[in-house]
Structure 1
Amino acid sequence: MHPFRSHTCAGLTKANVGETVRLSGWVHRVRDHGGVLFIDLRDHYGVTQVLADSDSPAFAAVEKVRSEWCIRVDGVVKARDESLVNPKLPTGEIEVFIREVEVLGQAEELPLMVFGDQDYPEETRLRYRYLDLRRDSMQANMKLRSDVVASIRRRMWDKGFREFQTPIITASSPEGARDFLVPSRLHPGRFYALPQAPQIFKQLIMVSGFDRYFQIAPCFRDEDPRADRSPTDFYQLDMEMSFATQQDVFDTVQPVIAGIFEEFGNGRRVDQDWPQISYADAAKWYGTDKPDLRNPIRMQDVSEHFRGSGFAIFAKLLEQDGTEIRAIPAPGGGSRKFCDRMNAFAQKEGLPGMGYIFWRERGDGDTENLVVRALVGAEDYDKFKNRELEGAAAEGKLKILEALDQGDLDRVHFLTNAYFGEIEAAGPLAKNIGPERTEAIRLQLGLGKGDAAFFLGGKPAAFEAVAGRARNVIGEELGLTEKDRFAFAWIVDFPMYEKDPETGAIDFSHNPFSMPQGGMAALEGDPLDVLGYQYDLACNGYELISGAIRNHRLDVMFKAFALAGYAEDEVRSRFPSLVNAFRFGPPPHGGCAAGIDRIVMLLADEQNIREVIMFPMNQRAEDLMMGAPTLPTNEQLRELRLRVLPPEE
């Protein structure tokens, strides 16, 4: 028999009853049932219940074992009593009567328990990651990650891609984040860099004549940590194609990504129709270029309804250039309590608040009946004309009579609903702008009784992000966001350039190596009007993919960089490999990169990316388990001819 096991802890079934077997694993849980000791023995594959009674020669040894000891047991497989079968376990029909036990590795008192779902501080979990990884949820996440990567590889090979590895030690590159620098011993005072991405290498692979490249590539960026981003390193599906258009990239990538989510999504719906939304529309409709389309709310520009209105804050705001008022519809949010809660949300976001309107049932609908009948009967017309009304109702009556006299029945219906309909608008903002404007807003947004709308104003760049977060909160709180769904969208038409609001200088807003839409001709006009063949794939509020059709023409590249203030000599010195390679017949090419960590995070239904990374850093970019980063020794510094400055106070 094998020295450690004849079967795994998931490998025994009723067919093995009567066999003598050997299992090895960790003591998941010990239960003492009055002279009978039960152990749930766990390995990477599953759990088997083993037991020893007082007659067993191993009973005394079994009494000593504790949680997370690593042990080997020999025993006989027996069928469980029918009433004791555990249908949740593949091994739930059997148990193993221990005849011999050997302790392979004892465990001291545990800093965190593996059994159960207790919450522990992240610092403890990362310091003892090897224990944390023993937990069922973490085992499942890491197995999922491995299976996803294997499936991606198969799918890319099936599409005619070949996998090539690119260097890990290279030159510094302008990917938009800080490089990790590596000092050179052989070249004192000079530094390599860890690649932020294989961007330049994969373009050079296309220049080399390889048609379809991919790689599960490690990338290194010295970034501030976030819940959905590692502060040091991450893995991506990196790919590039020659002789490809933007649509070719989409058509190639979509079945790979959709297939992964279908295979590992646990039955959640995977959208097959992936809309292409311009960057400008994504910002306007969703407040972000990473929209969560499981939430059906789409924001709208309602500026015209507030221009010259009685709500002075918005009316005066709209007198300034570049300002607008956006509405966030909230179907089902038509209560003062919910509106006040969202107002408090806006204040937490640093705003004075959010204007709102909600629509409710009007108390008296009798007048509306009179108006409707007035369309067909002179007698009722006289009754309505002579009816004494006050305030807004009186104003509405006069406008309705005027519209009736003009024969404008559409206007009559509109005014009837605004002033006397079954639904009335409520809230301070509604009182300020009056029934006609609130009714026009309601009709534009497609809202009704029991619904609400929230409003933010100013220059869009200043409030779009908050509006986007408010949209997400509204969708969550009102139950509008579909949880069991993966909703994808390509975000396209990114602007190539942006203006620094303080200096007015023009610089690249996204990938500087992208081909501008329209080529050289597009670069002759206003740089802020230039769009690039750049694209992202958003899923459930996260960016999964970023890519572009590359600028492979040197004349267009030099012009594009010149608009951002880079002289040709500087481009040649900063990117010598690309510039030199593009002198020798570069093909049109494009590609993208998909974040492996983020894909697995979504599939595992986790909110924090560290839950799907085997050995992640903490929020301060520290490896608590390994003790990194460390201080170099004086010998290392001398060898590298480096001196470390003390940190600034």
Structure 2
Amino acid sequence: MRSHTAGQVDLAVLDQEISLVGWVNRRRDHGGVIFVDLRDRDGMVQVVFDPDDPAVFATAESLRSEFVIQVRGRVRRRPAGTENPNIASGAVEVLGLGLAIINRSEPLPFQLDDERVSEEHRLRYRYLDLRRPEMLARLRLRHQVTRTLRRYLDEAGFIDVETPVLTRATPEGARDYLVPSRTHPGEFFALPQSPQLFKQLLMVAGFERYYQIVKCFRDEDLRADRQPEFTQLDIETSFMDEEGVMALVEDMMRHAFAEAVEVALPNPLPRLTWAEAMRRFGSDKPDLRIPLELVDVADLLQSVDFKVFSGPANDPRGRVAALRVPKGNDLPRSAIDDYTKYVSIFGAKGLAYIKVNDAAAGREGLQSPILKFLTDEAIAGILSRTGAQTGDLVFFGADKAKIVNESLGALRVKLGHDLGLVESGFRALWVTEFPMFEYDEKEGRYYALHHPFTAPNQADVPMLATNPEAVRSRAYDFVLNGFELGGGSVRIHDQALQKQVFGLLGISEAQAEEKFGFLLDALKFGAPPMAGLAFGVDRIIMLMSGASSIREVIAFPKTQSAACPLTEAPGEVDEAQLKELSIRVRKPVVEKPE
């Protein structure tokens, strides 16, 4: 139907007669001459219709936005001064000699260039939203990146193997999506949260290097970087330790960024241990573009007559940290109140602060309601340790370490964005040596910080029996601009060690056999050492493209309430289907207000 795409129309085809197909992006009538911007997947080209051919001109007059048309015409130079350098065809135009309307379009439910349209409305008509050039560009980028990743891994000797989508529920952290079985009434499949167990079985089977770009499913609360179904680049290797895996995938990501967005990531990437990342940034996925850091001051405040500080300062599980904000003295009290409210989301009971009006004047040059509780020695230590200067502001967090890290870590990021402190570009790093477990005081039990198949640091194995909280894992995360793009670990390949870890996690032998029996059986038959990693493809594309949400880089995403406005899924099914699956639906009980 066409000889060229819109993106191929340039000076190279000057004076040639060509055929084009596409959509009417815009039609303009300029005093007897009609201009049509024809759009296809590759670009845009201007087509000019004059009245010399009345039939063609009459058809051109009837065109409206988003009509699908076929044009036959001759390529000519644009008149001097009318060139458009923003498009590939900007030096030329097509004189329309023939025109056919392939299909008409009703008026659109929204204008494609209207940025005020709600996301819900755009997702309802996603097939129209995807016509926007920025959406096409993002999905093109996605294709380019996944193609580059596949090619890199193919050349590195990896084999692409598909793993099952219908499997059994296993306790991996988030809730499973369940699928009822018709042939086994009352029993359910689960959609995989990851191919974790199967890729380990592939290593036991001797494949040595596996990868897969795969859909994963998690029934969890959503946010900008989460979807109920998401795409993962899954990698697993045999006979490689963490250093080997990290070196390989680091080079892969450097290659992908260089090819897709012409960005050179550092070689090698910087590394932080988990402990250092939490100490300096309050986060295990720190955004290094923000030049603000947390500073520990607990030792300066252990004896002050202010229990808000002295309590956590003397608590082994507590933390007192300071966050210096350069030129933060300009923040009005209303802004400080807003930040206090913000950190309360993370469990912080307040947000103490000191304004530094004159750093050289000591106590007299400071302004804060907490100064009366602090000794001169403590004040001097805080100013020295934080490096506070005249005009700065220092925020404090004092509570359990987890609360301080989460609240001040989030405040650091918010301040960075609010005050324009975020550097441009990409800052990637590795975070290593994560704790093996985290302890839940309320439940009185341990949880795996990554997953129950992560191997402990070899030097720390004896502490599994004596001090589990001190055990470091052989886990590693690839972090970029404050997002965890990928995470992985060396796996447990020893059956006895795997059972010991299950025991610490409160998984009994019976439960382990029920949930993971097939894996434990496999480990009996010559399982090799194995290590791997999984990258969130959606997050990679989101950051590369500058999108604000992974929904903007997925063709047909779900909303934040895990619904699809386009297909109206999830939806009810009829009684016959439910009966066939041996399911009876119980409507949720809505409590009436008293």
2:277 counterpart of 1:279: no
Q: Among residues 90, 99, 102, which one is paired with 1:101 in the alignment?
A: 99
Q: Is the 8 A contact 1:425 1:438 kept in 2?
A: no
* 3-state SS of paired residue (1:160): coil
Give how far 1:498 is off: 2.7
Quick one: distance in 1 between partners of 2:287 and 2:85?
A: 38
Q: Who is 1:460 aligned against?
A: 401
1:75-131 CA-partner distances (Å, limit 9, x unpaired): 1211111211111111111111112211111111101212x2432111110110000
Q: Who is 1:382 aligned against?
A: none
Give how far 1:276 is off: 2.7
Q: Who is 1:373 aligned against?
A: none
Q: Who is 1:176 aligned against?
A: 173
Instruction: Determine what percentage of the aligned residue pairs are the same residue.
Output: 39
Amino acid of the structure 1 residue aligned with 2:325: A
Quick one: distance in 2 between partners of 1:262 and 1:450?
A: 41
Q: Who is 2:558 aligned against?
A: 617
Q: Sort the Cα spacing of 1:317 and 1:460 in 2 relative to 1 into closer, same or farther, 3 A.
A: closer
Quick one: distance in 2 between partners of 1:642 and 1:263?
A: 51
Q: Who is 2:416 aligned against?
A: 475
Q: Sort the Cα spacing of 1:458 and 1:105 in 2 relative to 1 into closer, same or farther, 3 A.
A: same
Quick one: distance in 2 between partners of 1:352 and 1:322?
A: 17
Give how far 1:313 is off: 3.9
* 3-state SS of paired residue (1:548): strand
Q: Is the 8 A contact 2:274 2:431 kept in 1?
A: yes
Quick one: distance in 1 between partners of 2:248 and 2:391?
A: 45
* 3-state SS of paired residue (2:235): strand
Runs of 4+ displaced beyond 4 Å:
417-420
* 3-state SS of paired residue (2:421): coil
Q: Who is 2:455 aligned against?
A: 515
Q: Sort the Cα spacing of 1:79 and 1:320 in 2 relative to 1 into closer, same or farther, 3 A.
A: closer
Give how far 1:74 is off: 1.1
Give how far 1:27 is off: 0.5
* 3-state SS of paired residue (1:174): coil
* 3-state SS of paired residue (1:82): coil
Quick one: distance in 1 between partners of 2:350 and 2:465?
A: 43
Q: Who is 2:120 aligned against?
A: 123
Amino acid of the structure 2 residue aligned with 1:473: K
Q: Who is 1:258 aligned against?
A: 254
2:550 counterpart of 1:552: no
In the alignment, structure 1 segments of 5+ residues that lack a partner are 363-416
Quick one: distance in 2 between partners of 1:526 and 1:307?
A: 26
Give how far 1:361 is off: 4.2
Q: Who is 1:237 aligned against?
A: 233
Quick one: distance in 2 between partners of 1:432 and 1:318?
A: 14
Q: Who is 2:441 aligned against?
A: 501
* 3-state SS of paired residue (1:291): coil
Q: Is the 8 A contact 1:343 1:353 kept in 2?
A: no
Q: Is the 8 A contact 1:360 1:426 kept in 2?
A: yes
Amino acid of the structure 1 residue aligned with 2:428: F
Give how far 1:546 is off: 1.3
- TM-score with structure 2 length normalisation? 0.93
Alignment of 1:298-377 (within 5 A): 298-309=293-304, 313-315=308-310, 318=313, 320=315, 322-335=317-330, 337=331, 341-350=335-344, 351=348, 353-361=350-358
* 3-state SS of paired residue (2:201): helix
Quick one: distance in 2 between partners of 1:238 and 1:6?
A: 41
Q: Is the 8 A contact 1:271 1:486 kept in 2?
A: no
Q: Sort the Cα spacing of 1:419 and 1:490 in 2 relative to 1 into closer, same or farther, 3 A.
A: closer
Quick one: distance in 2 between partners of 1:103 and 1:551?
A: 64
Give how far 1:349 is off: 3.4
* 3-state SS of paired residue (1:572): helix
Q: Who is 2:541 aligned against?
A: 600
Q: Is the 8 A contact 1:72 1:101 kept in 2?
A: yes
Q: Is the 8 A contact 1:418 1:439 kept in 2?
A: no
Quick one: distance in 2 between partners of 1:514 and 1:258?
A: 26
Quick one: distance in 2 between partners of 1:182 and 1:602?
A: 33
Give how far 1:149 is off: 0.6
Indicate the larger mover: 338-347 or 552-561. 338-347
Amino acid of the structure 2 residue aligned with 1:245: D
Amino acid of the structure 1 residue aligned with 2:99: V
2:87 counterpart of 1:89: yes
Alignment of 1:163-202 (within 5 A): 163-202=160-199
In the alignment, structure 2 segments of 5+ residues that lack a partner are none
RMSD: 2.1
Q: Is the 8 A contact 2:233 2:537 kept in 1?
A: yes
Q: Who is 1:226 aligned against?
A: 223
Quick one: distance in 1 between partners of 2:194 and 2:314?
A: 46
2:389 counterpart of 1:448: yes
Q: Who is 1:69 aligned against?
A: 67
Quick one: distance in 2 between partners of 1:320 and 1:549?
A: 33
Q: Who is 1:491 aligned against?
A: 431
1:193-214 CA-partner distances (Å, limit 9, x unpaired): 2211111111011111111111
Q: Among residues 280, 288, 295, which one is paired with 1:293 in the alignment?
A: 288
Alignment of 1:418-437 (within 5 A): 419=362, 424-430=365-371, 432-433=373-374, 435-437=376-378
Q: Is the 8 A contact 1:333 1:478 kept in 2?
A: no
Q: Sort the Cα spacing of 1:473 and 1:342 in 2 relative to 1 into closer, same or farther, 3 A.
A: farther
Q: Among residues 256, 265, 282, which one is paired with 1:270 in the alignment?
A: 265
